[in-house]
Amino acid sequence: MKQTLAITGMTCASCVAHVEEALHKVPGVTEASVNLATEKAEVTLDEGGAATPEIVTQLVRAVVAAGYGARAVTDDVFAREDAQQQAKDARELRAVMAAALLTAPLLLSMVLSSFGIAFMLPLWVQWALATPVQFVLGWRFYRAGFIALKNRSGNMDLLVALGTSAAYGLSTVQALRGVDSMHAVYYEASSVVITLVLLGKLLESRARRQAADAIHALQSLRPDTARLIDPGRPIRFNRAIPTEHLLAGDRVLVMPGERIPSDGVIEEGESDVDESLLTGESEAITKRAGSRVTGGTVNGLGRLVVSVSASAAESTLARIIRLVASAQATKPPIQRQVDRVSAVFVPIVLVIALVTFLGNLWWLGSVEPALINAVSVLVIACPCALGLATPVSILVGTGVAARQGILIKDATALELAHAVTVVAFDKTGTLTEGKPVLQAFQPVGQEPAEVVLAAAAGLQSGSEHPLAKAVLALAAARGIAAETVTGVVAQPGLGVVGVATSGPWAGQQLLLISHNGLLAHHPGIAAGLAPLVAQVMQSGWSVSWLMQQQGEALTALAWMAFGDPVRPQAASAIAGLHALGIRTVLISGDHEAAAQRVAAPLGMDQVFANVTPGRKAEIIAELRATHAVVAMVGDGVNDAPALAAADVGIAMGSGTDVAMHAAGITLLRGDLTLIPAALSISRRTWAKIRQNLFWAFFYNVVGIPLAAMGWLTPVVAGSAMAFSSFSVVTNALLLRRKQKPLS
């Protein structure tokens, strides 16, 4: 059981570690993953545990006791959070503007001195300007820093509070001593650092909100209200209720142009429905009574009465939102390593700052430059960028994937997917449509094809078997009415038997039987007919025979070949994977000819046929044993073991729930080109993570020694620190740029 909490008050990777530690201490918690970019905590309870109000209260109290804010996240929280974040951004902007207005005069003497003009504000004026910046606008750093000290650790706020307090305190001591020199006070340094940090946090917050746009975009697809039809009253008597109050069994009215509020079945009306949010297809789909509709899709020009089949919280759209949010809240393995580094980073910086102060004091023999250099070390070492480097990239990457119809269930799948070297495919329902089509129909005797096909359709009328539907579909496509056949009986292993009531075989018994069934029960007849269908069967198609039966005598009337057509995007998908340098493998339970019929035209690298579900998982393990990173693509229950055995499981959205639960990535629509797109997004996201980690470490590795040697002033250090966080987030947002389509 999992519970998501919204966390407030975190500023860097060290805060993440504190919150996780507090959550782990709550009884029943087996895992806690806190994401700085989304400000969410994903808490996993032990087996059999449930997120009862008491447990949630304990989790919230544990976080509050650690010095941070927390609240439970519900399914409809995202829109409210967006409004709250905008209000928070407005407050942050006012704080930045106030800090900038108070700090600007302090910089005046520095600016004028660069033009050779000696000017200095009176010390009491500088003190009056710097004090509200330090202790009013900068109070948040003292509060958060005190919490860190209480937890016997450090964070970004502690570094800012110590550094700016040192500069402010030294300046005040100098002012009280009456030292009247612009080089003896550093009010502008402490004020500028606080202003820059506030500005950096504002820009970072806005950029992070842009990164979370995928969630808000999905949430906006659900209408706020639904037209509930009161039971027992005419349809015109409907009332608007909040969509989240809908329950299964409710009847709602959907007017032209409105979004359907939740999943359901049409009771009345006919209309074209735009399902592009799920299918990616711009062409609307005609829906009529009995058709299923999905919440969030757009009704066309008709009026519909829909019987709700799922509450808004359990709708397809709500499940998609939860999947995306869960993926954005989880951590890939690399982030856990970064968190371990961050946990010891701040104490190490404090030691470096102390050594810097003592070393400069001994070398220079003066307190002022030694203290200023130590302040620069504290300011530039803030680990904000380090804490944001990975989660903000994951946040943007999963959002980009969701907009393309790719649901990534966890960050681990996104991280592993970048290294995939082999993609294994199931055949039926994955590379193929999963719906048999009558590919060829050939009469054997003298009767016209239309007459023979009408008899075959009559035998299959009323059957729900996929092959029967294929025969009826071909007859309907050719405008041929099914012949009336009575006494139709399905005999397992023998086929379908019935008596024709009219036409050339009136009163005669007709038999529809597979070639394998014919071979098993009438081997002599099958051997004589085999040459007629040898080439067709070598192509991998399955063959059935329509026969006239007189006692033990069978006369062939026609043969029909069934094939499962390959999905139209399969060739592009395989070509796209090859372009990425990835090998493709087909693992099918079908016979060799059928598997090769699909694999050969697509140019797949390897084929395994006649494979059992258990053997599929074994093949995946064997591929992994060759040091390949394997992704498995499947859609059925029989694919679940292989999906779980692969490094990355990819499930077709049209497949079974079992397959989707076993997979780390789900394709919302049956477009196979989403597979190379998903792997490409993973590669780009991984590249951004590496770039961001490099720059995050680069700022600190280069900046700290420069600051320790006195080559960076606190103002420059503050600018570099603020820019590092902003640049990391901005670099991650570049993932949202459109990529060239796969050829």
328 has a pLDDT exceeding 60: no
List active site positions: 426
Each residue's pLDDT tens digit, 378-421: 777 765 666 667 777 877 888 888 888 888 877 778 888 999 99
Reference 721, options 386, 394, 391; nearest CA is 386
Query: Is residue 47 assigned to a domain?
Result: yes
Whether 725 and 389 have beta carbons less than 8 Å apart is answered as no
**Distance, CA of 101 to CA of 221 (rounded, Å):** 42
Residue 613 lies in a domain: yes
Q: For residue 460, is pLDDT > 90?
A: no
Is the predicted pLDDT of residue 632 greater than 70, yes or no? yes
In angstroms, the CA 687 to CA 734 distance is 11
Residues 578 and 526 placed together within one structural domain of the fold: no
In terms of pLDDT, which residue wins out, 283 or 10?
Answer: 10
Give yes or no for residue 282 having a pLDDT over 50.
Answer: no
pLDDT of residue 534: 82
**Residue 513 sits in the same domain as residue 595:** no
- Is 70 domain-assigned? yes
| pLDDT higher than threshold 70 for residue 155 | no
| Residues forming beta bridges with residue 7, ordered by sequence position | 70
For the ranges 12-16, 73-77, 262-266, 320-324, the lowest mean pLDDT is seen at: 73-77
pLDDT for residue 577 is more than 90: yes
Q: What CATH number is attached to the domain comprising 519?
A: 3.40.1110.10
Q: What percent of the chain has pLDDT over 90?
A: 14
Same domain, 428 and 452: no
**What is the pLDDT at residue 743?**
40
Return the axis-axis angle of helices 592-602 and 570-579, rounded to nearest 10°: 60
Q: Answer with the one of 43, 64, 80 that is the final residue of a domain.
A: 80
The residue-averaged pLDDT of 1-7 equals: 82
What average pLDDT is seen over the chain?
Answer: 80
Residues 517 and 600 in one domain: no
Inform me whether the pLDDT recorded for 522 exceeds 90: no
Say whether pLDDT at 278 is over 60: no
- Alpha-carbon gap, residue 34 to 700, rounded angstroms: 23
Radius of gyration of the chain (CA): 34
* Window from 212-226, 529-543, 574-588, 634-648 with minimum mean pLDDT: 212-226
Transcribe 463-502 into DSSP letters: ---HHHHHHHHHHHHTT-PPPPEEEEEEETTTEEEEEE-S
Which pLDDT band, with edges at 50, 70 and 90, does 742 fall under? very low
The answer to whether residue 315 scores a pLDDT higher than 90 is no
Instruction: Report CA dihedral (472, 477, 483, 487) to the nearest 10 degrees.
Output: 10
Region 270-274: mean pLDDT is: 85
- Quick one: 426 and 498 in the same domain? no
pLDDT greater than 70 at residue 50: no
CB-based contact 641:616 (threshold 8 Å): yes
Which helix (H) or strand (E) segment holds residue 616: the answer is helix 613-625
**Four-residue CA torsion sign, 334, 420, 685, 75:** negative
What sign for the dihedral angle of Cα 721, 726, 729, 732? negative
pLDDT tops 60 at residue 483: yes
> Domain check: are 517 and 664 in the same one?
no
Q: Give the CATH number of the domain where residue 9 resides.
A: 3.30.70.100
Higher-scoring residue by pLDDT: 734, 720: 734
Q: Which of 606, 604, 664 is nearest to 634 (CA)?
A: 664
Measured CA distances, 699 to 204, 340, 601 (Å): 17, 19, 52
Instruction: Give the tokens for residue 643.
Output: 């999906």
491, 586: one domain: no
- Which pLDDT does position 565 carry in this prediction? 85
Instruction: Please tell me the distance from the alpha carbon of residue 670 to that of residue 420, in angstroms, as a whole number.
Output: 21
Residue 424 lies in a domain: yes
Instruction: Report the share of the chain in percent with pLDDT over 70.
Output: 81
Q: Could you tell me if residue 374 is inside a domain?
A: no
DSSP SS3 for 262: coil
Segment among 135-139, 173-177, 683-687 with least mean pLDDT:
173-177
The answer, yes or no, to whether residue 79 has pLDDT greater than 50, is no
The total number of structural domains that make up the chain: 4
Task: Decide which of 52, 80, 108 is a domain's last residue.
Answer: 80
User: What DSSP element (H or E) covers 264?
Assistant: strand 264-268
Q: Assess whether pLDDT exceeds 80 at residue 658.
A: no
What mean pLDDT do residues 728-734 have? 83
Q: What is the CATH number of the domain that holds 643?
A: 3.40.50.1000
Task: Tell me the C-alpha distance between 121 and 103, whole Å.
Answer: 12
User: Given 22, 57, 80, which residue is the final one in a domain?
Assistant: 80
3-state helix, strand, coil in the chain (%, to 5): 55, 20, 30
Q: Are residues 534 and 572 in the same domain?
A: no
In a domain, 203, yes or no: no
Least confident of 255-259, 538-542, 602-606: 538-542
- In terms of domains, do 276 and 293 share one? yes
Residue 183 within a domain: no
Provide the 8-state DSSP code for 550. E
Tell me the CATH number at 296.
Answer: 2.70.150.10
Q: Between these two residues, 54 and 571, which has the higher pLDDT value? A: 571
Q: What angle do CA 279, 283, 287 make, to 5 degrees?
A: 80
Measured CA to CA, the distance from residue 669 to residue 681 in angstroms comes to 17
- Residue range of the domain that includes 522: 437-563
424 & 573 share domain? yes
Co-location of 441 and 553 in the same domain: yes
Most confident of 31-40, 256-265, 323-332: 256-265
Are both 429 and 445 inside the same structural domain?
no
> Does some domain include residue 38?
yes
- At 93 the pLDDT is 87
- pLDDT-derived band of residue 597, with 50, 70 and 90 as boundaries? confident
Q: How far apart are CA 309 and CA 175, in angstroms?
A: 74
Q: Is 582 left (phi over 0), alpha (psi -120 to 50) or beta?
A: beta
Residues 512 and 482: beta-carbon distance below 8 Å: no
How many CA within 13 A on the CB side of residue 549? 18
